[in-house]
Structure 1
Amino acid sequence: AMREARASGRAVFVEVWAPWCHTCLSMKNFVLPDPALAPLRERLVFAAVDSDREDNAAFMDRYAVNVWPTLFVLEPEGGEVVSLWQGSASVSELRTFLQDALDAMDAEHAPDGPLAAMLAAKKAHAAGDWPRAAQHYQRALDRGGADWPRRSEALAGLVFSEYRQGHWTRCAQLGADHAASIEGAAVPADFSWVVLDCAAEVKAPALRDRARAAVLARLKRHTDSPPDAASVDDRSDALAIYAGALAESGDRAGERAAREKQIALLEAAAAEAPGPKEAATFDYARMGAYLALGRGSEAVAMLRERRAQLPDSYEPPARLAQALIAMRKDREAVEPLEDAVSKAYGPRKLGYLATLAELRARLGDRSGQREALVALLALYDGLSASQRAQRANRKRAEQARRQLARLR
């Protein structure tokens, strides 16, 4: 893609995705093919990077990816980040994001305007420089004012940057002050889950409660009247976050109503999908909603059918095992989990091996547990530097070494 971009003088639009990421599948199946994006291909080379594939290690070592999908616009010569977008985007949001990036490359923005500050924030964000990203997001907000069209996006970036620094109070304060004003197809839900995570760490009860109340009110409005541009996946995510927040507040009836609404939405979308590959976009969220409502047998039936329809994919057997484990059917979960391990690769396979080791330990299979742990460590040693450095992967390897030592 970079060679093509240099030869043609076009920028590069990179979609970083993974097969286990339901939002990535939603973007791939329902947003990126939209004809409204076709004119942008005259100025952009479109590329996709599966973050778990070994042959994409160099890209993942260079660019910070913390949310799936992450969308980049890169300069064709040196691959410098022009801009990035985290998570879901509607077609109109994606068009604006890409056009702003192209305008930046054409220097069609004021150097002291909000867009210049926003693009500086995106570059720092892509580098994982969270203090600098927060500084530039705040500068963009100050320059743009209350009516700036990209205010919600900048606030979401600022909240995420504070979250990544562990600035729980600052993050919760931003949520309490600005949740009501956040707009967009997916941004309100994304903003909300970050603020809820921050609020859980806040020591002051008054601020914690105010942040949660602001987010709950925004999520209710968003789920009662979702934007027309919101995809099914966007609406489902918002309902799931809302259900979790209601459960945390003790409103079990409200949680159940939100989950029922989510299931109805997802079942209708799956029924209308052109084929099983597209319908599988909704499997993860359907499984979660079924399990939350005590309807695990429906999740199992759905995933067994999907496994038969998509025999080469690791996702259906992995999700099937996940559902069975949640239902405390460990012995039934072994076979689909082993199937997922045989088909998966990269960090995702690492996670499946960790789960398989735990499963075999619970079943008293010490030999099988040891086999899974040895395979996990061998796989970890072969990961790219950035993949080994990821906290979850490093933690799995450390735990595997301790468990192996106890088994000897």
Structure 2
Amino acid sequence: MRTYSGCLLLLGLVACTTANTGVRDRVEQARAAEPLPFIQDDYARALAEAKARGVPLFVLATTGWCISCRSMKAHVLSSPSLGRHADRFVWLEVSTDSSQNVAFQQKYPIESYPKLFILDPREEKALLRFNDTLTVAELEQLLEDGERAYKGGAKGVEALLVQADALFAQGRVVEASKVLTEVLATAPADWSRRGRVALALVESFYETYELRGLEDCATKALELLPGASRSLAWSHVARRGLACAQSILPKELEPKRAEFLQNALEEKVAEAMGPPSIDMSVDDRSWLYSGRVWMRQMAKDEAGEKALAEEWLTFLETEAAKAPTPWARAILDPHRADAALQLKTPERAIPALEQSEKEFPQDYVVPLRLSQLYQAQGRMEDALAATDRALVDAQGPRRVSVMGIRALILKERKDTAIAAKALRDAIAYSESLPEVQRSMCSVSRLKRELAQLEAPPQVTPPK
């Protein structure tokens, strides 16, 4: 699932204990059994291999806190049916938490996750990118489209799609939107790529990073959804359109227009969750719940927000109980934490996350989410201890997130001087990172928090 806010302060951990040996062994065994032979965090090696073999390079860009990345790897990329495609590409996974992938990030900017690229290794050129989750069938179509772009010779609407995909993949979103529009106008109504193209078009408006882009993103989503075939991509268009409408500040658009877009797109998201059922993961459905709960919160509909949050959390608890493996259950932990915090019932998520931390001590996401749940309970010492565990091996921008959350816990505990030092340390660490790993939005937020802490107390003048 994409992260729609650039200012999230999140995640990090790996506890290095003897208990981790078994975890590492299980991870390596699972990786050996995967149908697709992913190279881990070595772009130079993957690029050289793709050049030598004369095949395109498929890249999965991830980060530790990306729940949808975990879900994709567990439920889609692990599908045995994908094994027949193994030799058609070289497969690379890059974690943007790691400093060794800075050069890759500089060449191929990554601002949302999961991010899929298909690259031409001959020119190191992006042929195609996809910004969300897919079903196995949709992924196979994506592979076919990427291979066609690499080999050349496409004609008709497929040639237009190759052109549009390349423009979008290379960040030329204004040009891409024009060609994507032409693709949709040219393609047959029942064309199997229509959902993916519609999502790319909506994304291209959003990625202009302008107010008009947000309005166009929401408006285009509403225009494209009616009559389109129901699919996971269809639900992504609805969710992305709603997120764009929710991101428009009231002062930036006529209020009735903004309200219309938000309400209409919330209805489409609700429609995506209803019958007939769309093939989607628990993770994908949870993001739809999240968008609707946020909408009820924005509308100041407390009863609706509470009822929907209860439905969301109950859904996650039910699915977790049915999970076939401990890891499949643990993938849902961040969603459960979010739903429990929204419902103001952190106690409903804490036992599950405490269990996951015991079972997966290398998973640095869990203790950070526990710190937020403990904080919501007023258990400040437990919250700080959880951030200590999270800081053991948090890297890059994830370390900044953990440091920032730790500072906020210290602030709430009234340890003003220590909180201010923690914020200064977080700012200094963030500014020491390579520019491509540095979130200016997060730095600005940390600096605002520091300025508030260090501001002299206001004295009310005598009357």
Q: Would the TM-score normalized by the shorter structure come out above 0.5?
A: yes
Percent identity between matched residues is 27
Instruction: Provide the C-alpha distance between the structure 2 equivalents of 1:100 and 1:396, rounded to a whole number of angstroms.
Output: 41
1:106-146 CA-partner distances (Å, limit 9, x unpaired):
22421xx3333333333333333332222222222222254
Instruction: Provide the C-alpha distance between the structure 2 equivalents of 1:332 and 1:368, rounded to a whole number of angstroms.
Output: 17
User: Which shows bigger deviation, 268-277 or 159-168?
Assistant: 268-277
Per-residue deviation, 1:363? 2.3
2:167–2:176 CA contact under 8 A, matched in 1:
yes
User: Which shows bigger deviation, 66-75 or 227-236?
Assistant: 227-236
User: Taking structure 1 as reference, are residues 248 and 381 closer, same or farther at Cα in structure 2, changes over 3 Å only?
Assistant: closer
Instruction: Provide the C-alpha distance between the structure 2 equivalents of 1:154 and 1:96, rounded to a whole number of angstroms.
Output: 12
Q: What pairs with 1:4-403 in structure 2 (closer than 5 Å)?
A: 4-110=49-155, 113-144=156-187, 146-165=189-208, 166=210, 167=212, 168-181=214-227, 183=229, 185-200=231-246, 201=248, 203-225=253-275, 227-249=277-299, 252=302, 254-388=304-438, 390-396=439-445, 398-399=447-448, 402=451
Instruction: Provide the C-alpha distance between the structure 2 equivalents of 1:108 and 1:256, rounded to a whole number of angstroms.
Output: 54
Corresponding residue SS for 2:65? coil
2:371–2:384 CA contact under 8 A, matched in 1:
yes
Instruction: Provide the C-alpha distance between the structure 2 equivalents of 1:35 and 1:246, rounded to a whole number of angstroms.
Output: 40
Structure 1: 5+ residue stretches without partners: none
Paired AA for residue 38 in structure 1:
G
Q: CA RMSD in A?
A: 2.7
Paired AA for residue 94 in structure 1:
L
> What does residue 5 of structure 2 align with?
none
User: Taking structure 1 as reference, are residues 204 and 258 closer, same or farther at Cα in structure 2, changes over 3 Å only?
Assistant: same
1:172–1:207 CA contact under 8 A, matched in 2:
no
Corresponding residue SS for 2:361? coil
Corresponding residue SS for 2:331? helix
Per-residue deviation, 1:30? 1.0
1:30-76 CA-partner distances (Å, limit 9, x unpaired):
11010121111121111111111100111111112222010011112
Per-residue deviation, 1:301? 1.9
1:64–1:126 CA contact under 8 A, matched in 2:
no
> What does residue 18 of structure 2 align with?
none
Paired AA for residue 19 in structure 1:
G
Corresponding residue SS for 1:180? coil
Paired AA for residue 178 in structure 2:
Q
1:64–1:127 CA contact under 8 A, matched in 2:
no
Per-residue deviation, 1:242? 2.7
Q: Higher relative contact order at CA 8 Å, sep ≥6: structure 1 or structure 2?
A: 2
Instruction: Provide the C-alpha distance between the structure 2 equivalents of 1:108 and 1:8, rounded to a whole number of angstroms.
Output: 20
Corresponding residue SS for 1:6? helix
Instruction: Provide the C-alpha distance between the structure 2 equivalents of 1:226 and 1:360, rounded to a whole number of angstroms.
Output: 48
Per-residue deviation, 1:4? 1.6
Q: Tell me the TM-score normalised to structure 2 length.
A: 0.79
User: Which shows bigger deviation, 3-12 or 243-252?
Assistant: 243-252
Corresponding residue SS for 1:68? coil
Per-residue deviation, 1:149? 2.4
Structure with the bigger percentage of helix: 1
Instruction: Provide the C-alpha distance between the structure 2 equivalents of 1:345 and 1:398, rounded to a whole number of angstroms.
Output: 20
Q: Where in structure 1 do 4 or more consecutive aligned residues deviate above 6 Å?
A: 403-407
User: Taking structure 1 as reference, are residues 327 and 183 closer, same or farther at Cα in structure 2, changes over 3 Å only?
Assistant: farther
1:130–1:161 CA contact under 8 A, matched in 2:
yes
Structure 2: 5+ residue stretches without partners: 1-45, 457-463
